[in-house]
């Protein structure tokens, strides 16, 4: 237990005292834990953004890392707090679908409804379960309480479907899942959806993805291969096709944001 | 001393190297300390914002946590550096009122003027006492030097009064203390100011708080109870009445910012 | 090795999962390391901003601290990954000039080309060497692998020249290196460039620096000495002349950004 790691993913931003209060509650219970800010910059109330952010980072952590996720528009209602064992990782979150991408990656995940309220702070507020419910549960878990002590497994947990690409009549239609800080448009298109464009292909077919007003030219292997203001496609580090520009924002160049449709026309 | 915790609250933002330099100085003196970013996003030079941020988080930390607060518009002048024992917590800050809300919560606080300049970096700059004065004092304190070694207690420390609500002729007037990332308007109204609206009340009186152009409808128990774009009141996690909207910004809906007056008319 | 410290400086921002993924990879290899966020707010793709940020903070850390710098517009091309011993510090970065200011401070620095690819993640992506190349190298280094195991020294590493002031005909011309969060304009002018204005001078000559539309009045010793909206000069904590205002943004008052020319006319 000496080097238990605990990450935080919230939509609290980096200015307000909310994340700090949670850290205090956790450290009061488990002063030896190593806290890691995964992100506090999730878009406010945005469960898909939170799910994506978490899914791109959680699996790189050591065995038995605890991931605390507090993006919680239903705080104060009857939505349940849950504790999940997913492969080598542990996750604590509201049961609002925010772990949907984790469930996709870990079909054997065990989801427990946290019902042992004696691990909560006394008189929890109705608006800040991050501090009063989730942080103390995380602290007790880091301290060594076994997951099964917090509540029984459930199977009716909330899970939303991430949009899947559709193939019709020579074209494949996907969407932009995420726009990152650089303006890269991360789509939901995987090599399985576009086998003739997959990273291992040696010769690429003619193709023309369109998004917004973007004129996508090619699939490239590195950002620096592209001309200035050229929008190109690349197989990104998240496993998805990304539309990018070299030292510029594809989002701005294409006028496309999250949710924009991406149409790939494949001509053989 | 093995797991001494040290938090940082500054207005340095998250891009500049200032917080990083402070962390380096602290870790050079006390490499085993656990550093916690409480917030670096305090509004620039804003003592009330810093005082509020700190007050909402510091008390959740374990005994003997050190809280370093560097929001310091008077750096380089004769304003004093201080070291404070407040209940179970230790605080280091400029003597400019930034700890006023801590003093309110801890009337027995002992405030020391830090005069032992041999704990400072040699040739401290005139513009960055965070790095050259406060960080080394924090490092030495974390390393185990006793608080009394840094200087003698003072009683004439700077303390500002946080605005208090006023009750006149059937109405109570408060102000917005803080607008958080979600656009929630956190007022200075407590259950004591509005006993008939207090959280434990079972039937609420008619009431109509107004702020900006906001039309506040009800006191609710959870954000998700409200209709879209409805502005409502809730007893928030900080102990104050907050004006909120469900997945929307009450600040934007009301056109109200920090300092806006909140008028609550109580009709019995 | 018990308290090895590892700092992160990136342009990934504070919302995306990239820094979190890197932290996971590092902690999987070296779970006892102390991670320190130096900055993730470097301007996107901006090597000078990254070099400046790092140079202002790295030297304050304890001996054998590892500094991981990932600002990497050439990711996926043939630009080399490097491992540098500079004085008491270790640095890992792409060989794109981002360490130029470190080389200036440490002429004896030993720069190694990291060629031992078995320390990388298997099948590294072409777009995220931070996660797949640099983070694992940092993790192995933190775990105790000796620097010479990663590759041989090179001397043809990339190094850019930071702009130097020019003295001509009674005036000295410099540039703004950095605008910080407060709007302070940090120039490249040092006491050596302006000996008659240097901090130890007891009487200052008449001088008039101009930048943008700024009307700079005086060299002051503390921000709070200045009148409202007065733009003044001060010898800053980074060792450079800064143009500032008291609780206001000199950048806004002068209409000047990074790269703006600063002309100092010295009249004796």
- Distance of residue B134 Cα from the nearest chain C Cα, in angstroms: 14
Q: Hey, which chains touch A, using 3+ CB pairs under 8 Å?
A: B, C
Beta strands in B156-260 (DSSP E): 166-168, 171-179, 185-187, 206-211, 214-219, 231-235, 241-245
Q: How far apart are CA C159 and CA C98, in angstroms?
A: 8
Kindly list the distances between the CA atom of residue B5 and the CA atoms of B32, B139, B203, in Å, as whole numbers in the listed order: 9, 11, 44
Q: Name chain B contacts of C53, Cβ cutoff 8 Å.
A: 15-17, 20
CB under 8 Å to A20, separation ≥6 — which residues?
Answer: B7, B9, B36, B37, B38, B39, B53, B56, B57
More confident of the two residues A250 and B219: A250
Q: Which residues of chain A have pLDDT under 70?
A: 1-3, 200-208, 267-268
Beta strand A81-86 with A89-94: parallel, antiparallel or unpaired?
Answer: antiparallel
How much is the pLDDT for B235?
A: 92
| Cβ-based neighbour number of residue A147 at 10 Å | 17
pTM of the model: 0.95
Q: If pLDDT is split at 50, 70 and 90, which confidence band does B203 have?
A: low
Mean per-residue pLDDT over chain B, rounded: 92
Residue from A6, A19, A24, A29 to probe the interface with B (highest B Cβ count within 10 Å): A24
Closest CA in chain C for residue A179: C16
How much is the pLDDT for A7?
A: 98
In chain A, positions 32-51, which contact chain B (CB-CB < 8 Å)? 32, 35, 37, 44-45
| Cβ-based neighbour number of residue A74 at 10 Å | 19
The verdict on a CB contact (< 8 Å) between B34 and A27 is yes
The verdict on a CB contact (< 8 Å) between B181 and A128 is no
Closest CA in chain B for residue A12: B181
Q: If pLDDT is split at 50, 70 and 90, which confidence band does C117 have?
A: very high
In this structure, what DSSP letter does residue C149 have?
G
More confident of the two residues B215 and A227: A227
CA nearest to C232, candidates C185, C266, C174, C163:
C185
The verdict on a CB contact (< 8 Å) between C62 and B27 is yes
CA nearest to C119, candidates C65, C83, C155:
C83
**pLDDT greater than 80 at residue B207:** no
CB under 8 Å to B248, separation ≥6 — which residues?
Answer: B183, B228, B229
Per residue in C178-197, pLDDT tens? Answer: 999 999 999 999 999 988 77
The verdict on a CB contact (< 8 Å) between C222 and B25 is no
**pLDDT greater than 70 at residue B233:** yes
Q: Provide the b/e sequence for A121-131 (b: ≥16 CB within 10 Å).
A: eeebbbbbbbb
Per residue in C209-251, pLDDT tens? Answer: 777 777 787 888 889 889 988 999 999 999 999 999 999 999 9
> Any CB–CB contact under 8 A between B25 and chain C?
yes
Q: How far apart are CA A135 and CA B61, in angstroms?
A: 12
Contact yes or no for C20/C47 (Cβ under 8 A):
no
Per residue in A117-159, pLDDT tens? Answer: 999 999 999 899 999 999 999 999 999 999 999 999 999 999 9
Q: Which of B3, B7, B180 sits opposite A31 (nearest CB)?
A: B3
Residue C8, helix vs strand vs coil: strand
**pLDDT greater than 60 at residue B156:** yes
Output the six-digit token pair for C199: 């901090």
The span from the first CA to the last CA of chain C, in angstroms, equals: 57
Q: Which of B38, B180, B242 sits opposite A20 (nearest CB)?
A: B38
**pLDDT greater than 70 at residue B151:** yes
Phi then psi for residue C89, to 5 deg, are -110, 155
Closest CA in chain B for residue C222: B76
Mean per-residue pLDDT over chain C, rounded: 92
Q: How far apart are CA B254 and CA A218, in angstroms?
A: 48
> Any CB–CB contact under 8 A between A199 and chain B?
no
- Distance of residue A108 Cα from the nearest chain B Cα, in angstroms: 31
Angle between helices C18-29 and C135-143 (to 10 degrees): 30
Kindly list the distances between the CA atom of residue C110 and the CA atoms of A68, B145, C70, C71, in Å, as whole numbers in the listed order: 41, 38, 19, 21
Residue from B8, B17, B29 to probe the interface with C (highest C Cβ count within 10 Å): B17
Instruction: Read off the pLDDT of each residue in B232-260 and give the average, rounded to a whole number.
Output: 93
Output the six-digit token pair for C91: 């640095």
- Distance of residue C150 Cα from the nearest chain A Cα, in angstroms: 22
Kindly tell me the sign of the dihedral angle through the C-alpha atoms of A65, A69, A75, A77: negative
- H-run or E-run covering C35: strand C34-39
CB under 8 Å to C7, separation ≥6 — which residues?
Answer: B20, B23, C35, C36, C37, C38, C57, C58, C61, C65, C66, C67, C68
Question: Of B189-198, C42-51, C143-152, which gets the smallest average pLDDT?
Answer: B189-198
3-state helix, strand, coil in chain C (%, to 5): 25, 30, 45
């Amino acid at each position: 237990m000496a080097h238990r790691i605990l990450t935080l993913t919230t939509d609290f931003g980096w200015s307000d005292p909310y994340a700090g209060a949670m850290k205090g509650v956790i450290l009061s219970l488990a002063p030896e834990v190593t806290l890691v800010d995964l992100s506090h910059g999730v878009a406010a109330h945005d469960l898909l953004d939170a799910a994506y952010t978490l899914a791109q980072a959680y699996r790189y952590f050591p065995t038995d890392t605890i991931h605390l996720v507090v993006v919680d528009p239903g705080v104060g209602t009857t939505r349940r707090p849950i504790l999940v064992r997913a492969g080598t990782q542990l996750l604590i979150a509201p049961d609002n679908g925010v772990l949907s991408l984790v469930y996709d990656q870990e079909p054997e995940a065990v989801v427990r409804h946290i019902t042992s309220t004696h691990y909560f702070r006394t008189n929890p507020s109705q608006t800040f379960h991050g501090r009063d419910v989730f942080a103390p549960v995380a602290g007790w878990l880091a301290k060594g309480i076994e997951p099964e002590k917090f509540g029984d497994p459930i199977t009716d947990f909330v899970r939303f479907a991430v949009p899947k690409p559709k193939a019709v009549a020579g074209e494949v239609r996907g969407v932009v899942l995420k726009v990152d800080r650089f303006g890269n448009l991360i789509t939901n298109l995987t090599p399985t959806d576009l086998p003739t464009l997959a990273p291992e292909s040696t010769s690429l077919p003619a193709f023309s993805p369109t998004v917004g007003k973007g004129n996508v030219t090619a699939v490239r292997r590195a950002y620096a291969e592209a001309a200035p203001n050229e929008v190109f496609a690349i197989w990104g580090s998240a496993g998805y096709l990304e539309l990018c520009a070299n030292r510029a924002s594809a989002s701005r160049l294409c006028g496309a944001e999250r949710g924009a449709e991406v149409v790939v026309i494949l001509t053989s």
